[in-house]
Amino acid sequence: MFQDRRIGMALLMPATAFIVLGFLLPVGILLSDAFHTGGGWGVGNFSDFFARALNREVFWRTFRLGIYVTGISAILGYAVALTIVDASDTNKGRLVATLVLPLMISPVARTYAWVVILGKTGIVNQALVASGILDTPARILFSETAIFIGLIQLFFPLMVLPLISALENLPRDVVPAARMLGANWMQVFWKVILPLTKEGLVVGGTLVFVGSLTAYVTPAILGGSKVLMLETLLYQRVSVANDYAAAGVIAVILIVMAVITNVLLKRLAAARKGGR
């Protein structure tokens, strides 16, 4: 666009300087605490962190819930996205609006709604008792289940939206063609739809997984301190123990998990392109 590349570089400078000074540098300084051990630099803080049983448990719980939430969102997400793509234009607009609406409500408000819904006198327990499935109300709040439900609701739209756009780019004829050639619906999904919409799944999966890893309000309110996640543990380390080294370690772990997921999912998507 520019004959002189230097003009382009110069135009890039202000934004770059802002990112470097306002984001990368402070984050770097903050995270460097994680590698700062008594005598110098090293990964001692990380081995200390994983040496504690509680920390290992919290790490696995965070990871596990992230996988569950992403997996279930993907399964439900395909069902919803296929329905929306298939709907008439008017209905499509309505359905997408319904899907997006919760995103406009603060996660704090949504999470508090779950406290009421999942409570002992909440609608879920009332229904379970009234239908005879349970004799007495179950304790759902302050458990992994509650966090799981809260996270699904929080991040589900972020899975569906990329899937919708991926499905809309799917050539209209491929499904009828596959059917005509004798594929059943399962085969159509696994061999045609899934491979052709993998990019949407990668984008949605990354958003949901990273979102689940880093959400704070939902685990804090629905799980409480009996069901710690990495982000609630991080808060505890900073605000109670003033332990910035451990907090830095947790932050690094979260960032690394997010980056690895993104890279892995991108690889998955790219593998398909290469193999075609």
Partner 1 sequence: MTPKFLLAASVLALSTGAALAQDKTLTISVYGVSQDAYKEALYAPFEAKCGCKLIIETGNSSERLAKLEANAAAPVVDVIAFSDANALEAAHKGLTQPINIAGLSNLAKVYDFARDPIGGNMAIGYTFYGTSIVYDSAVVSGVDSWLDLFSDKLKGQVALPNISTTQGPLAMFMIEKALGSDDPNFAKAVDLVAKHRDDIVTFYEKGGQIPQLMQQGEISVSVIGRFGWGNLAKTVPTARWANPKEGQTGGMNVLAVVKGTKNADLATEFVDYWLSTEVQQKLAEGLVDSPVNKDVTVSAEIADGLSYGEDLARTIHFLPAQVMLANRDAWLEAWNAKIAQ
Q: Is 122 in the site for partner 1 (CB under 8 A)?
A: yes
* 242 part of the interface to partner 1, by CB under 8 A: yes
Distance of CA 158 to the CA centre of its chain: 8
Query: DSSP per residue over 178-211, as a string?
Result: HHHTT--HHHIIIIIIHHHTHHHHHHHHHHHHHH
Based on the shown chain and the rule CB under 8 A, indicate whether residue 53 belongs to the binding site for partner 1.
yes
Q: Could you tell me how many residues of this chain bind partner 1 (CB under 8 A)?
A: 25
Stretch that binds partner 1, among 153-161, 180-188, 217-225, 257-265 (CB under 8 A): 217-225
Q: Give the one residue of 36, 110, 120, 266 binding partner 1; rule: CB under 8 A.
A: 120
Among residues 46, 68, 119, 269, the one that binds partner 1 under rule CB under 8 A: 119
We find the least distance from the C-beta atom of residue 136 to partner 1, in angstroms, to be 10
225 binds partner 1 (CB under 8 A): yes
Retrieve residue 114's tokens. Answer: 């779950």
CB of 102 to partner 1, least distance (A): 21
142 lies in the site for partner 1, by CB under 8 A: yes
51, 15, 22: which is closest to 246 by C-alpha? Answer: 51
- Tell me if 126 contacts partner 1 by CB under 8 A: no
> Is the backbone of residue 242 left (phi > 0), alpha (psi -120 to 50) or beta?
left
Residues 27-46 that bind partner 1 (CB under 8 A): none
52 touches partner 1 by CB under 8 A: yes
Helices (H), the chain: 5-19, 25-32, 44-51, 53-86, 89-100, 107-118, 123-130, 144-168, 174-180, 185-187, 194-196, 198-214, 217-218, 230-239, 244-275
Q: Which stretch binds partner 1 (CB under 8 A): 51-59, 68-76, 101-109, 209-217?
A: 51-59
Residues in Cβ contact with 129 at an 8 Å cutoff, skipping those fewer than 6 apart: 135, 136, 137
Residues near partner 1, by CB under 8 A: 52-54, 57, 115-116, 119-122, 139, 141-142, 220-221, 224-226, 228, 236, 238-242
